[in-house]
Structure 1
Amino acid sequence: MASQKEIFVAFFRSGILGFGGGPSAIPLVKKEVVDTFQMMTDEEFAEVLAIGNTLPGPIITKMAGYIGYRTGGWIGLINALIASVLPTVLLMILFLAALKQLKDFDFVKGMTNGVVPVVTVMLGLLTWDFLKKSKKSLGWKAGGFIFAASFAGMFVIGLHPGVIIAILFLAALLLPAKKEGKDE
């Protein structure tokens, strides 16, 4: 069993130094839990990584939760999760406070105004990609109907997007799948 201090230090260091998300932080987590604190072996870490990759969500928080629980029980789980997300939370608070202080400067206004078109184009490309994939799997009629119904549900009726996603998920489970090779 690892001490709570070791669990916290291992995941806090990985969280603060792992800039770029999971792929950059995984080697740091390995260095901490396998080499530095010897909480597990290389083989055990590889198994944890494989299990973490099969589940949805951020890999580092999944690994932190599992490794924390395995080496420190429920307290270790909570400790590791807090330690892995705390650096991001602190940096976000710092950056947002700085942005609030600097928001009236022209260069900051220019940066924030420059981000909006970039995000718009990225979301447009993502939407186009989804439309192409829906044509392949559903056909234009069914895909167009789902788009129109979702749009009407959100903007005409005022439904929350989560409700629409839940309805579409249930519909996907209940309705028969489209046969391969058939296109509308």
Structure 2
Amino acid sequence: MFVYLLRNNKVVAGILAFIRVYLGYQWMTAGWGKITGGEFDAGGFLQGAVANASGENPTVQGWWAAFLEAVAIPGADVFTFLVMWGELLVGIALILGVFTNFAALMGIIMNFAFLFSGTISTNGQMILLTLFLLVAGYNAGRFGLDRYVIPFLKEKVTHKNEERFVKQAEAH
């Protein structure tokens, strides 16, 4: 019943729009600050996360530290780019309400990566709020550009599928 309410109620869609814009603003400002600040380098953050995987009270799991050492640290330049631009683009998409579910999914993946790396901050709160957007599906973007984009894309896909089926039928 709660999921039905999240996915179908227009009043809830309005509440989700506020949550969406709030989260979008958080992501956008974080990404913009990293892009324009010129000092962000994921390498230092990643090294710190690996260092926090040892000691008496490690805050980073060993399996995550192994991933960071084997994949993320050697590709720190790529991760720096992905974090900066990912945060900015997720933020813009959430504010505009375009591809809301995909943006929310990418945001929650980043939040979990930050949590796995030992950073608490607002990640837990953002994950909780993002879960509401993900469960709500289309309703989370109802009062945004998804209201126009999603039906347009569905129509295009349906039209292309119909054309393909007609061509297949004519071939037989």
TM-score class, shorter-chain normalisation, is under 0.3
Structure possessing the higher relative contact order (Cα contacts under 8 Å, 6 or more residues apart): 2
Q: Rg: which structure is higher? A: 1
TM-score of the superposed pair, with normalisation by structure 2: 0.25
